[in-house]
Amino acid sequence: MEVLRRAIGFDWYVWVLTDPASEVGADPLALVPDLAELPDLVRLKYLTDANRWTRLEAVGALGGDAGRSPLWSRAQRRHGVADVISAVFRDDFGCWAFLDLWMDRPAAAADLDLLAGLLPTLTGALRRRQALTFAEAAQPQLPAAGAAVVVLDEALRIGGLTPASRSWLARLLPPTGRPDAVPAAALNVAAQLLAREAGVDDHPAQARVHVSHGLWITLKAARLEPAGSIAVSLEPSTPSERLDLFARSHALSARERELLAILAGGADTRQVAGRMFLSEHTVQDHLKSIFTKTGTHNRRTLLSHALGVKAD
């Protein structure tokens, strides 16, 4: 970011890794004027339609659309922000991140061109970074059993949590010492729920997040009735959710993804060939391609990494 700052000259930034399918934020890197404002900044970002990453083609500046941005009107303007450059890191396999650069001057065309030129390289790097999280097949010990739920109010402040959620929060949060701290991933899925309700965006209010050692969890936000609070659930990602992420991050083709899913169901080469209407030789060719892309050498290791279980 410092290299980019020297080239463009921004003041603050928010760079968020996203779930490639839902496009909801999962893992942020941010430098903002006041971290205490983070819940409000996240909420306003998701309620902002101008240059929204889910519809942005590549790079854009807020410019004359500043008045249409609740984030700028209610927060950024107060901190002297004159313009915001937004970028989305998207390829054929999903949306991997979005970036906002807060500036105290209008963005120049050269700024946009420079960032646009970096997008293909950075997008590929972000996708490969996610692929590396599957290199460790064995999941670490999971937190205690029980429903892990965090309850938030309309301002995305914590209102309650279940005992089982404390173990997850300890893994997702840096050691702040604040009992009211909320993981950024939980803020993002809750904010996406608000965006859906406001008609801003219709992507599902959920995101998959890598915790450590090959462990992925899925967060989902929903309304509690009748109180109207927001409940964010946290649970280990299902095999199908892991397979989807594994295939996307390793750039598997549609045919390779289909083969991987059938393999995960326990099929052998002959059964795979029959279900895909291919010869066994062609199945082996597809497998070789998958092994090359994923850095594995046999089916056992491939499925161990994809599903997050120890190889027998």
pLDDT per position as a tens digit, 123-134:
999 999 999 999
Question: Tokens standing for 7?
Answer: 């080239």
What pTM was computed for the model? 0.93
Beta strand pairing call for 215-223 and 206-212: antiparallel
Local confidence band at 65 (pLDDT 50, 70, 90 cut-offs): confident
Is 245:260 a contact under the CB 8 Å cutoff? Answer: no
Q: What is the pLDDT of residues 237-273, one digit of tens each?
A: 999 999 999 999 999 999 999 999 999 999 999 999 9
Is residue 262 within 8 A of residue 272, CB to CB? The reply is: yes
Lookup result for tokens 């083709």? 253
pLDDT for the residue numbered 176: 57
The span from the CA of 235 to the CA of 254, in Å, is 27
Helices (H) and strands (E) in the chain, counts: 11, 10
Best CA proximity match to 62, nearest among 48, 51, 78: 51
Domains 2-131 and 148-239 share a fold: yes
Assess if CATH 1.10.10.10 describes domain 252-307.
yes
- Spans of all domains in the chain: 2-131, 148-239, 252-307
- Tell me, which fold does domain 2-131 have in CATH? Beta-Lactamase (3.30.450)
In the CATH scheme, what is the code of domain 148-239?
A: 3.30.450
